[in-house]
Every structure is written in C-alpha cells, then in structure tokens.
Amino acid sequence: MPASTTVRGIVLSAMPVGEYDKRLVILTLEYGRITAFAKGARNPNSALLACSSPLAFGEFTLYVGRRSYSVISADIKNYFSELRGDFEGFCYAMYFCEICDYMSKENNDEKDILKLLYQTLRALTKKTIEFPLIKVVFELKMMTYNGMAPQVFHCVKCENNSYQKASEFASASGLSSPIYFSIKTGGILCSGCRMNDKSSIRINTSTLYTMQYIISREIEKLYTFKVTSQVLNELEICMKRYLQCYIDHEFKSAEMLKTL
Ligand SMILES: [Zn+2]
C-alpha cells in the first residue's frame, strides 16, 4: 500500500483522543469503514477542525501507517450544515450514522451503504418527507443491503400466494385475504399460513406494497413518496420488531429519538 491515499467518504463519528486529537470513523467508497486519527484537530486553529466532525462528506487524504490511518488534509464538499441547526434532524442523522458504523466493515465494499446514507442525509435536509418515514425506509433498505430483508414477495410458508403485484392482489382480494407480517419466519404469511406464527402482525396491502418498493427500487427513488399515517404506523411497528429480532443491538442514538 502507498504511504498516502485519497478516499471519498462521510465521517460517521468523531471522538476526542488525548488533549489535541480526534479519532474519526469514516465510511469510505474505497475501503469500507475505516478509523483515522486527525492529529491536532481539537485545536481551534487546526486545518483539520472542520473535517473532523460527523456528517462531513468529501475527500480525505490519509497517511497510511502500519496500524492506522492519519488524516493529512481534507476537501469537504458537504457538511450537511442545515442539520447542525436542526436538533431533531441531527438526532436522526446520528442514528443513521450509528447504524452504518455497526453494519459496515473495513475493506468491505460498502458503496451502497455510503450512497444510502448520503441520500438519506439529503432527504433529512430537504424536509419534504416526514422523518419517521425516512427512518423506516433507511432501516429496511439497510437490512436489504445486508442480505437480511424480509420476504415480502410471496408467503414465506406456502410460496403459492405470490404478491409480486401487490396492487393487483389488493383489488382482487380486498379484505377477505389479509396479509400478516411475521417477524419469526422473516416475511409475510397468507391467511392460510398465519397459524404458523400467531404473533404475526396484520398489515394493509399498501404497507406490503411500500415494503416491496423500498426493497426493490434504486436509492434515488427511495425518498420520493409519502404514505398514510396508518401505513407509516404499520411500517414502524414491523421495522422496530424486525430490527430487534435480527440485529439485537441497542443503538445509543435510538434512545434520543424516543425523546423527540
Ligand atoms: Zn401461505
């Protein structure tokens, strides 16, 4: 590896180290999630002060040491400064960064996760979509990229009930064939198979369709729609329990979101 390298990425967290330095976790295009030290970054006159805070997005030139990276310089393209003056938006941003930190690895291809985080932060700054909807979209897409998406295109048990076209299914079946979201079996159950998981959650066809959309569409299309409060409520219940079951990790920033 060369003595220095330039990477593109977003700072996920910045922790003070000693009296003058900071330890940054950066999600990069080139090397996945890395840790880099910003020497002297706590000094108010340091050239590294501005790049050494969470959400800073741009190019970082790093010295490649034997055991760690050190930031030499940075060219920041976006600080997401709108979010620094918006307490609620900033709390959501910190939550998304913490999940990215937890779910990504060094020397892994995390391009999709980086792109997802960037578009999600942009959605927070635009404020055209309510934050709780941004949260569930992010969570479900994140699970998808980690190969942990629920099966929402057909019944997990019988596989005969294809819901590929949820809208057609909805008009054909109406309320007589309800759909259930089963955390335990990792996807949806038709009414016939529902007995396999009595704790499954009954969901609206619009909720099913929204999940299918989030899982299958490209990132650029994710933050372009709105849902009814009933659909949002169902998505929130499903994702909360799904994450509890399959990630089983307490995110510190999630506690903060509960207080908003
Ligand atoms: Zn079934």
- Model confidence over 87-121: pLDDT tens digits? 999 999 999 999 999 999 999 999 999 999 999 99
For ligand 1, a single-atom ion, the residues with CB < 5 A are: 155, 157-158, 190, 193
Q: What is the pLDDT of residues 206-232, one digit of tens each?
A: 999 999 999 999 999 999 999 999 999
Angle of helix 205-216 relative to helix 131-145, nearest 10 degrees, comes to 60
Q: Which amino acid is present at 43? A: N
Say what the pTM is.
0.92
C-alpha 179 – ligand 1 centre gap (Å): 9
- What CA–CA distance (Å, rounded) separates 242 from 188? 12
Q: What is the pLDDT of residue 163?
A: 65
Topology of the domain comprising 4-128: OB fold (Dihydrolipoamide Acetyltransferase, E2P) (2.40.50)
Exposed, middle or buried, 15 (CB in 10 Å: 0-12/13-18/19+)?
exposed
- What CA–CA distance (Å, rounded) separates 67 from 71? 14
- What CA–CA distance (Å, rounded) separates 204 from 210? 10
Q: What is the pLDDT of residue 172?
A: 47
C-alpha 188 – ligand 1 centre gap (Å): 8
C-alpha 144 – ligand 1 centre gap (Å): 22
| CB distance 185 to 176 below 8 Å | no
Residues of the chain with CATH 2.40.50.140: 4-128
C-alpha 154 – ligand 1 centre gap (Å): 8
Exposed, middle or buried, 252 (CB in 10 Å: 0-12/13-18/19+)?
exposed
C-alpha 62 – ligand 1 centre gap (Å): 53
C-alpha 22 – ligand 1 centre gap (Å): 53
Q: What is the pLDDT of residue 173?
A: 45
Q: What are the residue ranges of helices labelled H in the chain?
A: 81-84, 87-103, 111-126, 131-145, 166-173, 205-216, 229-246, 252-258
Our CA dihedral for 101, 104, 106, 109, rounded to 10 degrees, sits at -140
C-alpha 240 – ligand 1 centre gap (Å): 24
- In the chain the first and final C-alpha atoms are separated, in Å, by 46
Model confidence at 168, pLDDT cuts 50, 70, 90, reads: low
